[in-house]
Amino acid sequence: MLKSECKNLRHKQILRLECEAVFEDRYKERNMALRREILAWCDEILQVGLFKDYAPNGLQVEGKEEIAKIATSVTASKAAIDFAVEQGADMLLVHHGMFWKSEPVTITGWKKARIETLLQHQINMAGYHLPLDAHPQLGNNAQLAEKLDWVLEKQFGEQNLLNTGRLKTTQTLVQLSERIEAVFGRKPTVIGNLEREIKRIAWCSGGAQGFFQTAVDESVDAYLTGEISEAQYHLANETGVAFISAGHHATERYGVRALGDAVAEKFGIEVVHFDENNPA
């Protein structure tokens, strides 16, 4: 079947699936994929349309059309972009892109330098934000639970970004803190009685300290997120629910890697992962 025929019949689900089957093998034969194929697949897998986000999900800076190698990074930092250049990547896939609603829209200073490098090397930059926090397998929250050996009870709250679950083995707060340090390579900030037994936990990756009250309402023993503000110290002490701040970067390191690996597997292309020692 010609590709153009596929395109014309896109609205018919069965034919669309046939097209996919035909092209599935071709991806692997040619060791490259078209930008739009990768983006369409990510949009569908992550159900981008279901989220109200404060940054664009998908392509943020357009580069070359054919992708043989992707690089992943938590943030589209200059260091990550330079890594993508060094590695000869055709696409940089990130969790934190560049165009946040709260930021000025002008392209100056550090933002100019980042965009200039991407354009010079024709590297696509695509970002997936809240959809990549919430995805039940590839998402930051799901990956976090897997790394820490927690069993998910439910996703809930604002755009399903909050999670509750159980530890497979009950740990005291100090044991849990040590486990988190070993897994993430970063000492968490922990507020609460260190001898308290932790059986049920709530979590949300990144800067989700504002959801602490919602977690307290779920009667969990502890809440884990990436950041802490002044108020959570008092709330933890006064409610008895432990608060764990394990790092915004550290808690969001694994979602984009999982997505990058899934893209590489699906399209038979190369993937490389960038990490930097961001203590925040």
90 assigned to a ligand binding site: no
Nearest residue (CB) to Zn ion, 75 versus 177? 75
Burial of 30 (0-12, 13-18, 19+ CB in 10 A): middle
- Site for Zn ion (CB under 5 A): how many residues? 2
Binders of Zn ion in range 199-258 (CB under 5 A): 206, 252
Please state the closest distance from residue 248 (CB atom) to Zn ion, in A.
6
Nearest residue (CB) to Zn ion, 232 versus 251? 251
95 assigned to a ligand binding site: yes
In total, the chain counts a number of residues equal to 280
Helix ranges, 170-279 (H): 173-184, 212-216, 230-239, 248-251, 253-267
**Do residues 271 and 72 touch, judged by C-beta distance below 8 A?**
yes
273 assigned to a ligand binding site: no
Residue whose C-alpha is closest to residue 73's, from 257, 250, 205: 257
Nearest residue (CB) to Zn ion, 11 versus 279? 279
Please state the closest distance from residue 197 (CB atom) to Zn ion, in A.
30
Nearest residue (CB) to Zn ion, 91 versus 204? 204
- The reply on whether position 139 binds Zn ion by CB under 5 A is no
Residue nearest Zn ion, Cβ-based? 206
**166 DSSP β-pair partners:** 151, 200
Whole-angstrom Cα Rg for the chain? 20
Interface residues with Zn ion (CB under 5 A)?
206, 252
| Residue positions forming the annotated binding site for a divalent metal cation | 95-96, 133, 248, 252
